[in-house]
């Protein structure tokens, strides 16, 4: 680790999808600050130090390359990092707890608590601790109690600074955020720590986008932001089911609704369902908190967002089964995309995992294609017994298939030569567009039976168009 003393030393514990890009951008924007990112996973750290970063994000390679070795360092030496740091961001994972009380709902805070204890043991001077991970409201209070235990009173000031970046646009989001949220307590130490963090972001974020609040509002706002975003998708997906029954078109409905400036047009794309590591876990965490405080109706309301998402994924598979004459056994199905969204290799909670597992249950044969996510797809499906192949080239992947199911909205899938693909497929050939990004009329013209989400189906069968079997 570089020991040159700069104006400030920032440490980030957790070199994941948030820690890595966030710190790379801070280092790039603040050359006078030394930024070190540490992790318990040595493989991850060695990849951050290599030409093959552990995550794919557009623009990230360039940002890392510009700062790494200058004022950005990746290391496994957590103790030294804590010792040297003025400000410590904690960006470890906070997955859904899978055991004991709260299993399947509450946040599992074991990684956070271990980190807090390690900071307490290794720090010999006052530090500012920044909650970067998404945490249940009131976590800062629990952490403060851990930090203050023993002879350590008042050496640590805890801030909440949740991250709002989305994968696939992380660098852009970090460089030009809608807002930066910093929560602190109202003590003089809290205000002073808050102002130091504000000064870091103010190097590149306009002051009027740096929002300071009390610490509980900040923690809660992160959960609520994700819940609102996911709620929009579940709302549009719920209506997509009604569109399929009524010959309405979800894209037209979403456009008409989104033109109301009070609602806005973004995040209204109907899909096979939302994925990603956070929406489901954060909503379940919110639901758990509401139940904990006895707010059953509020909990039920938000839980509905997750229920609709499960329904949408299942509906996609059931539609495939129904349309393909109620049996998928021995049929070859090609998945276009496996990442949970375009421009990332991340597959955590991807609807692709659900769809693949359900199709294997129906004894289909799978060929999975994705430009960035095949390594993760192999890992996700390692325990699944069935006939699964992983083929990056979409033409080769679709060759010999009965159906294509488009799972991820990679733009390259919209630009393929579908005449060529059609000729290599088993007839009748089906396309299930789980993202509504393909030219459905054109595909139908080529000869495909086309099943979008929330729009009339285009088939070559005897039923009137739009009537699903």
Structure tokens at 56: 């794919």
Q: Tell me how far apart the alpha carbons of residues 404 and 145 are, in angstroms, rounded to a whole number.
A: 54
Query: For the window 107-146, what string marks contact with ligand UGA as x by the rule CB under 6 A?
Result: ---------------------------x------------
**CB environment 140-156: b (16+ within 10 A), e (fewer):** bebbbebbeeeeeeeeb
CB 191 within 8 A of CB 160: no
Q: Which helix (H) or strand (E) holds 152?
A: none
Q: What is the DSSP letter of 217?
A: H
Q: In what order do the strands lie in the sheet with 430-433?
A: 388-390, 365-369, 332-336, 403-406, 430-433, 449-451
Q: Number of residues in contact with ligand UGA, rule: CB under 6 A?
A: 20
Judged by CB under 6 A, the residue of 8, 40, 224, 391 near ligand NAD is 40
Residue 244, contacted partner among ligand NAD, ligand UGA, none, CB below 5-8 A by kind: none
Provide φ and ψ at 352, rounded to 5°.
-55, -35
Choice from 10, 11, 12, 16 touching ligand NAD (CB under 6 A) = 16
Interaction residues for ligand NAD, span 73-92 (CB under 6 A): 78, 91-92
Q: Is 370 in the site for ligand NAD (CB under 6 A)?
A: no
345 binds ligand UGA (CB under 6 A): no
Pairing label, strands 8-13, 87-90 = parallel
Q: Tokens 């290391």 — which residue?
A: 75
Residue 229 binds ligand UGA, judged by CB under 6 A: yes
Residue 419's CB is within 10 A of a number of other CB atoms, namely 12
Q: Which among ligand UGA, ligand NAD, none contacts residue 114 (Cβ within 5 to 8 A by kind)? A: ligand NAD
β-bridge partners, 130: 89, 159
* Residue number with CB closer to ligand NAD (228 or 461): 228
Residue number, 40 or 414, with CB nearest to ligand NAD: 40
Q: Kindly state whether residue 218 participates in binding ligand UGA, applying the rule CB under 6 A.
A: no
Residue 376, interface with ligand NAD (CB under 6 A)? no
Q: Is 278 a catalytic residue?
A: yes
Specify whether the CB–CB gap between 320 and 328 falls below 8 A: yes
Report how far residue 45's alpha carbon sits from residue 53's, in angstroms, rounded to the nearest whole number: 9
Q: Which of 39, 131, 167, 303 binds ligand UGA (CB under 6 A)?
A: 167
295 binds, among ligand UGA, ligand NAD, none (CB under 5 to 8 A by kind): none
- Give the footprint of ligand NAD on residues 237-296 (CB under 6 A): 277-278
Query: What's the CA gap between 418 and 399, in Å, rounded?
Result: 11
Instruction: Return the residue nearest ligand NAD (CB atom).
Output: 16
Q: Binder to ligand NAD among 42, 69, 114, 292 (CB under 6 A)? A: 114
The verdict on 230 binding ligand NAD (CB under 6 A) reads no
Interface with ligand UGA (CB under 6 A): 134, 163-167, 226, 229, 233, 267-269, 271, 274-276, 278-279, 340-341
């Amino acid at each position: 680790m570089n020991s040159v003393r700069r104006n400030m030393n920032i440490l980030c514990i957790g070199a994941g999808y948030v820690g890595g890009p966030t710190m790379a951008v801070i280092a790039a924007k603040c050359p006078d600050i030394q930024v070190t990112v540490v992790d318990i996973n040595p493989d991850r750290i060695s990849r951050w130090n290599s030409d093959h970063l552990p995550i794919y994000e557009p623009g990230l390679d360039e940002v890392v390359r510009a700062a790494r070795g200058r004022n950005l360092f990746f290391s496994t030496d957590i103790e030294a990092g804590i010792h040297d740091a003025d400000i410590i961001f904690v960006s470890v994972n906070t997955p859904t707890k899978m055991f004991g009380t709260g299993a399947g709902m509450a946040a599992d805070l074991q990684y956070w608590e271990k980190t807090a204890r390690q900071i307490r043991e290794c720090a010999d001077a006052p530090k500012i601790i920044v909650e970067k991970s998404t945490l249940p409201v009131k976590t800062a209070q629990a952490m403060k109690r851990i930090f203050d235990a023993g002879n350590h009173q008042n050496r640590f000031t805890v801030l909440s600074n949740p991250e709002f970046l989305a994968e696939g646009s992380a660098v852009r989001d970090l460089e030009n955020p809608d807002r930066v949220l910093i929560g602190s307590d109202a003590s003089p130490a809290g205000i002073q720590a808050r102002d130091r963090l504000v000064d870091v972001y103010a190097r590149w974020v306009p002051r009027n986008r740096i929002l300071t609040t009390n610490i509980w509002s900040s923690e809660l706002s992160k959960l609520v932001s994700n819940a609102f975003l996911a709620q929009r998708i579940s709302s549009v997906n719920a209506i997509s089911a009604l569109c399929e029954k009524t010959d309405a078109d979800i894209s037209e409905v979403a456009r008409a609704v989104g033109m109301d400036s009070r609602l806005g047009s973004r995040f209204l794309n109907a899909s096979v369902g939302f994925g990603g590591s956070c929406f489901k876990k954060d909503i379940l965490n919110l639901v758990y908190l509401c139940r904990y405080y006895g707010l059953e109706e509020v909990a039920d309301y938000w839980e509905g967002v997750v229920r609709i998402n499960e329904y949408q994924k299942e509906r996609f598979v059931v539609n495939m089964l129904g349309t393909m004459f109620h049996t998928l056994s021995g049929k070859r199905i090609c998945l276009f995309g496996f990442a949970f969204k375009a421009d990332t290799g991340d597959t955590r909670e991807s609807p692709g995992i659900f769809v693949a597992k359900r199709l294997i249950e129906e004894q289909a044969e799978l060929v999975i294609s994705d430009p960035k996510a095949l390594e993760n797809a192999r890992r996700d499906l390692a325990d699944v017994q069935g006939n699964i192949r992983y083929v990056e080239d979409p033409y080769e992947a679709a060759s010999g298939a009965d159906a294509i199911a488009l799972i991820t909205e990679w733009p390259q899938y919209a630009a393929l030569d579908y005449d060529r693909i059609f000729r290599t497929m088993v007839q009748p050939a089906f396309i299930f567009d789980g993202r509504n990004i393909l030219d459905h009329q054109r595909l139908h013209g080529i000869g495909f039976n086309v099943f979008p989400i929330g729009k009339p189906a285009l088939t070559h069968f005897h039923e009137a168009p739009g009537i699903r079997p």
